[in-house]
Structure 1
């Protein structure tokens, strides 16, 4: 299986975290767990579709998708060969570019046209015209530059709050966020509902949780050390939080496994 992450050029970093490509010609079904990481995604399949289980029901996905913020883990399974192009966008990007109310997409993975109509049809056609990875990234950069110009992007206080949360690795209180960016707690809640789809407090929990996957690549301080470095009060609090997002205790989680969850969360330090 090929896992590839490609950073966007500097002028697109305010709207895109990364592009990613997954390919696997083995049609054997493999169950994949997807874990919250604080980002939304636009996804195109160019081989066989996947099945998804967000709650208790399995269903086949569309070949073109948009995924909002997720608050809990869910499962995917391939139905054949995998060929996927993903755009992992910054948390507020879908509102900036397409005026989406993100709370309507929370814990949802929708057909792209259901969410955006035909606004990305031209991009999809270009992507299907080649599977050369370099050409795909060129198409994506060109298309998102055009979208960004037409959207007349203007930064909101939600963007400032998100940057602060990332900079502090989720280890910051809502009160400190509101003090830093000059808005009330009620205003921040409204902004996060529209631009992010999660409450500020829950979003900081996800980002703090995701820090664990960075720390574990840099050192091996043990679970007590990881709990301290990632800002948890004690080891039991750390374990409860980890299990809430992954469904597993950290000692049982396969950090070294080559799977989608680790590919998305274990970014290179």
Structure 2
């Protein structure tokens, strides 16, 4: 089983309920798609379970009952209620790379789940039926979705590649805390950076910076025994109170409460 991944809150609880698998897309898709993913669960005879996730700055195409959806960047707290038994199969696009498939500014998708048919036509729903009609086998599912995406593969898009590089740099650079720092690294103005993120990423550069810090905070918090003042300083917050406000607003509970085992 694959790790639940950064951003999944209370992963130790989630691992008892869901299983996650990842699969590589066809070679021709790797500039646009990070990976395919599958989540399976079985709650038959058990209470429903709500999995909460601090989302990443990625767009997802998700094949699920009753129809496929495109999920924009969720800038709040994503909550998935799991009942009965089932699975979903998802496509995680690289930051910036969903826009070339559709030609729409992806900020329009933020905090929404929209029918995939709005972007890919009725064939998306027909493919959804085929995905869910057979076993939850990653190789089978990739073999269905690869040709669907390859047939729609966009040409080169320098702006998409720049947006992807910017997001990847932010998430890989823990001591990067301000938007003007990102703009300086890439030799653009702050305004240019903001426009590019609205058009291609679906969230502001400030949000991406803050979310990267909160992913790190949640991951450390899940381990317990955290020096909160030290963590706040490591993440570039002016003080612990500012960090606590950000964490509580995003996660719904304070850092101290999050670490309580229930």
Q: How does 1:113-262 map to 2 (within 5 A)?
A: 113-118=117-122, 120-121=124-125, 123-131=127-135, 132-148=137-153, 151-156=154-159, 157-169=162-174, 171-215=176-220, 221-253=226-258
The answer for the alignment partner of 1:96 in structure 2 is 100
Alpha-carbon RMSD across the aligned residues, in angstroms, is: 2.9
| Equivalent position SS for 1:147 | coil
Compared with structure 1, are the counterparts of its residues 13 and 250 closer, same or farther at alpha carbon in structure 2 (3 Å cutoff)? Answer: farther
Equivalent-residue separation in structure 2 for 1:189 and 1:119 (angstroms)? 34
Q: CA deviation at 1:105?
A: 0.8
| Equivalent position SS for 2:176 | coil
Count residues with an aligned counterpart.
240
CA contact (8 A) 1:38 1:207 kept: no
User: TM-score, normalised to structure 1's length?
Assistant: 0.76
After superposition, give the CA deviation of every residue in 1:84-134 in whole Å (9 maximum; x if it has no partner). Answer: 112222221210222221111111112222344336346435423432232
Equivalent-residue separation in structure 1 for 2:174 and 2:110 (angstroms)? 22
The answer for the alignment partner of 2:61 in structure 1 is 42
CA contact (8 A) 2:58 2:93 kept: yes
The answer for the alignment partner of 1:32 in structure 2 is 51
Q: CA deviation at 1:13?
A: 4.0
CA contact (8 A) 1:68 1:105 kept: yes
| Equivalent position SS for 1:66 | strand
Q: CA deviation at 1:194?
A: 0.9
Q: CA deviation at 1:42?
A: 1.3
Equivalent-residue separation in structure 2 for 1:152 and 1:191 (angstroms)? 18
Equivalent-residue separation in structure 1 for 2:219 and 2:143 (angstroms)? 29
The answer for the alignment partner of 1:6 in structure 2 is 22
After superposition, give the CA deviation of every residue in 1:52-71 in whole Å (9 maximum; x if it has no partner). Answer: xxxxxxxxxx5311111111
Which range is displaced more, 16-25 or 95-104? 16-25
CA contact (8 A) 2:39 2:88 kept: yes
Equivalent-residue separation in structure 1 for 2:82 and 2:172 (angstroms)? 35
2:94 is the alignment partner of 1:77: no
Which range is displaced more, 6-15 or 93-102? 6-15
CA contact (8 A) 1:7 1:17 kept: no
Gaps of 5+ in 1: 47-61, 258-269
Q: CA deviation at 1:187?
A: 1.7
CA contact (8 A) 1:170 1:207 kept: no
CA contact (8 A) 1:216 1:226 kept: no
CA contact (8 A) 2:43 2:82 kept: no
The answer for the alignment partner of 1:112 in structure 2 is 116
